[in-house]
Each structure stands twice: as C-alpha cells, then as structure tokens.
Amino acid sequence: MIRVLLRILGLWRSRAGWLAAGLVLSIAALAAGVGLMADSGVTIATAVASGVLFAPVALRGLGTARVVLRYAERLATHAATFRALADLRVWFFRRLAHSSAGGLGFRQAGDVLARMVGDIEALDGLYIRILVPLAGAILLLPALLILIGWRTPGLAIAVGLLFALAAFLLPWIAARAASGAGTRLADASGGLRVAVLDGLTGLREVRAFAAEGRTLAAVQAREAALLAAQHDLARRTALAGAGAFLCAQAAVLAVLIAAGANPAGAVAAAFLVVAAFEAVGGLPRAGALAGHAAAAARRVLAITDAPDPVPDPASPAAMPASAAIRCEGVHFRWLPDRPPVFDGLTLDIPQGSRVALLGPSGAGKSTLAALLLKVAAPQQGRVLLGGTDLADLPAGPVRSRIAWLSQTTHLFDDTIRRNLLLARPDADEAALWAALDAAQIGEMVRALPDQLETWVGEGGHRFSGGQGRRLALARALLAEAPILILDEPAAGLDADTERDFLTTLNGVAEGRTVILIAHRLTGVERLDRIWRLSGGKAVAAAA
C-alpha cells in the first residue's frame, strides 16, 4: 500500500514547491495553535493562583498568527492538491493515449471513466488528510515529551504513548483493516459507472426491446454493491475515529490524575494535550481512507502500466521517401486465447495505387489498418513502408504519413474549425476551406451563420450522417498524408449518399495511395487492384 501511494507522490514532484509551501504553513499554523492553547493554559493557571486575569501580548499575537497562518495554509494546501490532481489526470490521459492508440480496445469505457474521475478524486485526501497531519504529528510527539516531561516525566511517557497510539498505530491498523473495503468500494464505483454508461449508450435499444426494468435492475444491483462498500468503509472509519477520541480522553484523564502534584502545570498540560490530540484526531480516520486511496491508486496505475503494444525502436531508421506498402508473411492475433486474424498474409500496395480490401466481418480488414498505423504489431512477419520495416520506424512519423477515415470517425463536441485542426494544427484559413471544398461540403459550411465556428455537437449530432462523414473526410484530407486508409467510410449511409460520397473520394485522392476497406463494392470506385481477405490470407482479384 505504501509503495503504491509513494508512486502517486512521485508523480506530483513537479508540484513540490506548492506541496512544501503548504506543509510549512500547516506546521506553522499547528505550532501557533498549540502555542496558543499552551499559553492559554498558563494564563488561566496564573489567574487561578493570583486571582487576576489578563491577556499577555504573546497570547494575542499567537491568536492572530493562528488565524492568518490557518487561512494561508488552507489556500496553499488546497491549491497544491488541485494542481497535483490536475497533473495526475493529464498524466493518466497521456499514458492511456500512448498505450491505446487504436482506441480503448478490450477496456470498458465506463471503467476507464471511473478510474480517471472517481479514483483520482479519491486521492485528493492523500496530501491534506494524511501527509500534512502526519508531518505535524511527527513534530508534535517530541514537543509533548519535552514540554510535559521536564516537570512530570511519568506523565510525559503516558501521554506520549497515547499520542503515538492515536497518531501512528491506530491509523496504520485502520489502513490495513480498510484495505479490502477500499478495494471493494473502488471496484463497486467503477461497476456502477459501467452499468450506467452502458444503459445510457444503448438507451434506444433498451426502449425498443422494453428492457427498461432489466436495465434499471442491473444499475440498482451495482448501486447496492456500492452502498454496501461505502457502509463498510464508513463503519471502519467511525471505529478509527472512536479510537482516537478515547486516546485523547485517556490522555486528559492522565493529566488530571497528575494534577495533585502541580495544579498550575496540570492546567497548562491539559490545554497542550487537548490541542495536540485535536491536531491529529483525524489521522485514524484518514488511515481508514488511505485503504480506499491505495485501492484507487492501484486502479489508476494498473491501466497506465499496461505495456506499450508497439514500442518505438531504440535506434529508429530514417523515414523512407516511398509510400509503397508490403506485407510479408504476417501472422497476427489480438489475444493469445483468440483465433488468428492473419496466418501468413502477403500483399503489395504500390505507391500511388488505389486498392480495395474486401471480406466479411472478422476477416482482418480493420486489423490491417491497425498494423499499418502501428497501433498493433505482427507476432511474425513484417509490414514494410517504402521497403523499411515498420518495427524500425517511430510511430509518430509513420502516422503522419497516413490519413485514416473509418466508419466510426468521431466528431468532437467542438467547432468545425477545431475538429479540422485535429489533423493539422498549423493549417491556415485557406487550407481549411480547401479541405472542405474538396470534400464537397464547403458551400454548406459557408451557409451556416457561424461558418467555421459552428458547434458540431456531441458526436456531430447537429449534422446528418452524410454531412458528418464529409466533415471527417475534410479532416483526413487536411492532413496531406500520402496514404489514405478508408475503413468502411460509407457504412450507415443510404445508397444514394454512399454513391455520392464515394464519387467524391474518386476525385480528391488523386496522387495518394488509397486503401479502401469494405464488405462490398458499389461499382463507382476507381481501383487498380482488389484483394479479398479470407482465412488469414489475401487473394488478388480482378479490378
């Protein structure tokens, strides 16, 4: 558990300045608070002995300092936490994108969302609730022993043992005991997100098949599991808090028992003990929450620790000038327990040619696109670009040579301009309009009130299927890549829209290597060669 949490802290090293500032201010505020209580005890003890009550300058100064330092500490520690969590989310997304260049693959979208949102949020107390109070407790223990022990060593030992129990031992026990509950809570939270997102995504099918009751029952079952896990963790947290409270009361009782020998000193010691135990009173509860934080950290790290499916070579070769593609004896399967997709695939795609890859679902058409884009690598054989093995080339430059348009090309909930700039961030206004005109959707965009600043909507829902596909085509054309992969680009369109779209493709892809992946041909495509994929191999057919 400690090792996992330390890894999270290691990811926050760029915020070390903020974290250190918050820690220093927290310790200063704690010192001012404890000093205020101790000075108050001395003042009251003196007033009881002399019959005169007055507020010394130190008391007023410590009171003011405590308020100012507490406010500054809250600002610094919360700012540090927010910045650290933001960095963690960015790191998580980058790692996920690096290991999932081809999409989420076999991961569940709801589970990934739960890890990126819920599990990272569960780590917000790691610094404020655990590390900061723990640092204060480490400094308070010797201070208690010195301040109380110089008059009553026996009382100092008793108070020190109770303080160590409340600040160190109980949090450790609570963390170990709550580890399982924290894991169940993290898993249950992820399961609920998966069920809800799945139900919302398939809401149309749920209504069509009158499955509302069954879907709701599945969500409620996940919710019940989450509530049970939350109840278990809350119970353990309450027990830890109760243990800390009893330790504090036992320490005050010890001070009162020792009051007979030195009443004035006992009053000051009582105030000091109350302030010290109040400062660490949340640590046992934080220890219980640490089990949940550790489980969340493991889930965050697990998805990012997945090995890179296609690591870049240590010494990459120079990018070839040619865009010719060749597959030599390629063997590939997605998982060891799944059947092979390719079993000795061999084919040639000359530079500037227009080829079609045909075959039924599961024949490997989209898998070949994944191999060309270096989001997967063959277990045997080679995929060559310009005569150079893709395994010897870095993924970034390879993908810059390839523009990809699929049947599920995503339009982001943003403007038309920003959706297009995804392909080429430095493209100017003229290049954007040229790409739109080439995709034969420029006139439609010009007719919109906001033109390029028009909001596309989630998944491009503000446009028809054909318009959305043309916007995606414009984005692919903007990339100016010499290779264009069209993976079922007209799927889901009606027959007339499909013919119009493919006719547009015939005119805009001149000079590029075009790879059309489809179940069937409509007859309007201009092709140099057709390959049929079957049984893990490619068979040339007449164009």
- What confidence tens digit (pLDDT) does each residue in 293-311 have? 777 777 777 766 666 667 7
Tokens of 385: 């670009």
Please provide the size of the chain in residues.
543
Mean pLDDT of 172-199: 78
Supply the pLDDT for residue 523: 58
- List the CATH number of the domain containing 350: 3.40.50.300
What percent of the chain has a predicted confidence (pLDDT) above 90? 0
With respect to residue 68, please indicate whether it lies within any of the assigned structural domains.
yes
- Of the two residues 46 and 244, the one the predictor is more confident about is 244
Indicate if the pLDDT at residue 55 is higher than 60: no
Supply the pLDDT for residue 192: 82
Indicate if the pLDDT at residue 26 is higher than 60: yes
Same domain flag for 278 and 367 = no
* Full DSSP string of 505-536: HHHHTTTSEEEEEESS--S----SEEEEEETT
Supply the pLDDT for residue 261: 55
Supply the pLDDT for residue 41: 66
- Of the two residues 6 and 57, the one the predictor is more confident about is 6
Render pLDDT for 409-463 as a digit per residue (tens, 0 to 9).
777 888 888 888 888 888 888 888 888 887 778 888 888 888 888 888 877 778 8
Same domain flag for 254 and 370 = no
Least confident of 102-106, 150-154, 392-396, 523-527: 102-106
Same domain flag for 136 and 189 = yes
Structural domain boundaries enclosing 441:
325-541
Same domain flag for 291 and 191 = yes
- Spacing of C-alpha 12 from chain mean position: 14
Mean pLDDT of 216-239: 85
Supply the pLDDT for residue 136: 85
* Full DSSP string of 56-97: -HHHHHHHHHHHHHHHHHHHHHHHHHHHHHHHHHHHHHHHHH
Rounded Cα distance between 470 and 435, Å, is 10
Same domain flag for 14 and 149 = yes
Handedness of CA 15, 18, 22, 23 (dihedral sign): positive
Same domain flag for 291 and 349 = no
Determine the Cα angle at 332 with ends 410 and 390, to 5°.
Answer: 70
Same domain flag for 350 and 242 = no
Indicate if the pLDDT at residue 524 is higher than 60: no
Mean pLDDT of 317-342: 81
Supply the pLDDT for residue 49: 56
Indicate if the pLDDT at residue 475 is higher than 80: yes
Same domain flag for 270 and 372 = no
Supply the pLDDT for residue 48: 56
Indicate if the pLDDT at residue 105 is higher than 60: no
Looking at the structure of the chain, the number of domains it has is 2
Render pLDDT for 71-91 as a digit per residue (tens, 0 to 9).
888 888 888 888 888 888 888
With respect to residue 368, please indicate whether it lies within any of the assigned structural domains.
yes
Same domain flag for 293 and 343 = no
Least confident of 169-178, 323-332, 517-526: 517-526
**pTM value > 0.85:** no
Indicate if the pLDDT at residue 274 is higher than 80: yes
Residue 491's pLDDT band (boundaries 50, 70, 90)? low
Indicate if the pLDDT at residue 143 is higher than 70: yes
Supply the pLDDT for residue 243: 85
Rounded Cα distance between 427 and 293, Å, is 44
Same domain flag for 162 and 284 = yes
- List the CATH number of the domain containing 253: 1.20.1560.10
Rounded Cα distance between 398 and 162, Å, is 64
Supply the pLDDT for residue 303: 67
Same domain flag for 428 and 296 = no
What percent of the chain has a predicted confidence (pLDDT) above 70? 84
Indicate if the pLDDT at residue 58 is higher than 80: no
Rounded Cα distance between 191 and 415, Å, is 33
Least confident of 108-122, 168-182, 424-438, 510-524: 108-122
With respect to residue 169, please indicate whether it lies within any of the assigned structural domains.
yes
